[in-house]
């Protein structure tokens, strides 16, 4: 009995040493970057399509400019121009939904440039650890990379003209300065939605083999 208990204790791996030795750092790094790329594809599929940002999951990721100076919308509404807010939101979401190719290339360039300092921490981390690390390391690069495609679409989707019209009307009634960067807010709102969908997909890759592809399947427990 004593011998069998000793053998059982010897097989325990409380430090994960044996598990860690199952995969090389190269395999772990590949699983991490493949997971990110797959998560980007899923996020783009969900959000960068008609009805994506505006309606997916009951509009959970809808760009609504909730951080906009209340005085602007309030002033417009008080003078019967409240409809311009709804129009701006509609066109901004259409803009975001049209950026799929640019979002995909920008995010995947950031994945390729990612420096993974401690693959074990991400590989064996909690659900969302990979996405959170990616976001912390590449956020500014992605935000900068999305400015140009969004800027082009600001005119194509009449977002700039609507915004300028709103500001012109606002200044007729309110002299308070406007410092709100509408273009950057669209970029940031897009990114937040995309990162959240990536976190969700990472969780599925870690727990559901049907979400795995060759390269990240070793993440699935």
**Helix (H/G/I), strand (E/B), else coil: 201:** helix
Confidence band for 11, pLDDT divided at 50, 70 and 90: very low
If one counts every other C-beta atom within 10 angstroms of the C-beta of residue 184, the result is: 13
- For the segment 122-147, what is each residue's pLDDT rounded down to a tens digit? 999 999 999 999 999 999 999 999 99
If one counts every other C-beta atom within 10 angstroms of the C-beta of residue 95, the result is: 24
CA gap 107, 143 in Å, rounded: 10
| Whole-number CA gyration radius for the chain | 23
Length of the chain: 221
- For the segment 46-104, what is each residue's pLDDT rounded down to a tens digit? 999 999 999 999 999 999 988 776 789 899 999 999 999 999 999 999 999 999 999 99
Are residues 40 and 145 in contact, defined by beta-carbon separation less than 8 angstroms? no
In a domain, 12, yes or no: no
Tell me which DSSP letter residue 161 carries.
H
Residue span of the structural domain in which 148 resides: 26-219
Mean pLDDT of the chain: 89
In a domain, 3, yes or no: no
Overall number of domains in the chain? 1
- pTM recorded for the entire structure: 0.87
In a domain, 70, yes or no: yes
Query: Looking up tokens 């999305």, which residue turns up?
Result: 146
If one counts every other C-beta atom within 10 angstroms of the C-beta of residue 218, the result is: 15
């Amino acid at each position: 009995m004593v011998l069998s208990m000793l053998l059982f204790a010897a097989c325990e791996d409380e430090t994960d040493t044996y598990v860690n030795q199952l995969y090389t750092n190269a395999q772990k790094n590949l699983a991490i970057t493949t997971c990110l790329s797959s998560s980007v594809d899923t996020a783009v599929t969900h959000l960068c399509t008609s009805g994506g940002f505006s309606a997916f999951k009951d509009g959970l990721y809808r760009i609504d400019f909730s951080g906009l100076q209340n005085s602007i919308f309030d002033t417009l509404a008080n003078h019967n121009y409240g409809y311009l807010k709804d129009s701006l939101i509609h066109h901004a979401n259409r803009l975001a939904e049209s950026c799929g190719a640019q979002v995909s290339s920008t995010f995947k360039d950031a994945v390729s440039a990612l420096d993974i300092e401690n693959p074990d921490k991400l590989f064996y981390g909690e659900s969302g650890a990979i996405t959170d690390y990616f976001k912390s390391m590449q956020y500014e690069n992605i935000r900068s990379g999305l400015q140009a495609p969004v800027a082009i679409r600001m005119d194509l989707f009449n977002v700039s003209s609507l915004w300028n019209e709103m500001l012109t009307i606002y200044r007729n009634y309110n002299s308070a300065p406007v410092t709100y960067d509408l273009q950057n807010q669209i970029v940031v709102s897009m990114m937040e939605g995309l990162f959240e969908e990536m976190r969700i997909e990472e969780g599925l890759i870690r727990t559901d083999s049907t979400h795995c592809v060759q390269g990240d399947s070793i993440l699935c427990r």
